[in-house]
Amino acid sequence: MISLPFWNPIICIIAFVILIAIACLFRSRGQKKYKEGTAQTEIFLSGEEPPAVEQRHIKSHNIYWGFFQTLKQYYDPTVRAHTGIINDFIIWLIAIAALTAVILLIASLT
C-alpha cells in the first residue's frame, strides 16, 4: 500500500499565519524615518533622475528581442520595405501579381 505524505490544512494555515507574523515583525523593525514626497522615497538609479511612472514598465516587445535578433537578416529588408506609403504597397501588389501571372503562364505551357 502506498503511504501518502502527511497533509493537514489546519497546520498549513497556522504555518502561514506564523510566517506572516514573522514578516510583519521584520517590517515593523525597519526604517520609519523616510519622508513621504521627497527623494527619500524615490527609486534609486545611481543618482540619475528616475523616469516618469509610465516610462518605467518593460515593453512587451522586449521579450521578442532574441527572436528578432535571430531573424534579423530576414526582418531588416522586410521592415525597410514597409514604408507606410500606399504607392509602394501598390507597386509591390502589381509586381507580385505580375510575377504570379508569369509563373502561372509558364506552368500552363509546360
Partner 1 sequence: MGFNSFKRALWAYHLNTGSCNGCDIEILATLTPRYDVERFGIVLVGSPRHADVLLVTGPVARQMASRVKRVYEQVPDPKMVIVVGNCGIEGGVFHESYNLVGPVDQIIPVDVYVPGCPPRPEAIIEAVVKAWVKLEKAEQGVR
Q: State which of residues 8, 28, 31, 87 lies at the interface with partner 1 (CB under 8 A).
A: 31
35 or 57: CB nearest partner 1? 35
92, 81 in Cβ contact below 8 A? yes
- Three-state SS for 96? helix
* 11-14 CB contacts, 8 Å cutoff, 24+ apart: none
Q: State which of residues 44, 53, 69, 86 lies at the interface with partner 1 (CB under 8 A).
A: 44
Q: State which of residues 21, 26, 33, 37 lies at the interface with partner 1 (CB under 8 A).
A: 33
Q: Does 47 contact partner 1 by CB under 8 A?
A: yes
Distance CA 98, CA 104 (A): 10
Q: Does 69 contact partner 1 by CB under 8 A?
A: no
Q: Does 39 contact partner 1 by CB under 8 A?
A: yes
Q: Express the helix, strand and coil content of the chain in percent, nearest 5 each.
A: 65, 0, 35
37 or 66: CB nearest partner 1? 37
H-helix segments, 29-85? 65-70, 72-81
Q: Does 27 contact partner 1 by CB under 8 A?
A: no
Interface residues with partner 1 (CB under 8 A) are: 31, 33-35, 38-40, 42, 44, 46-49
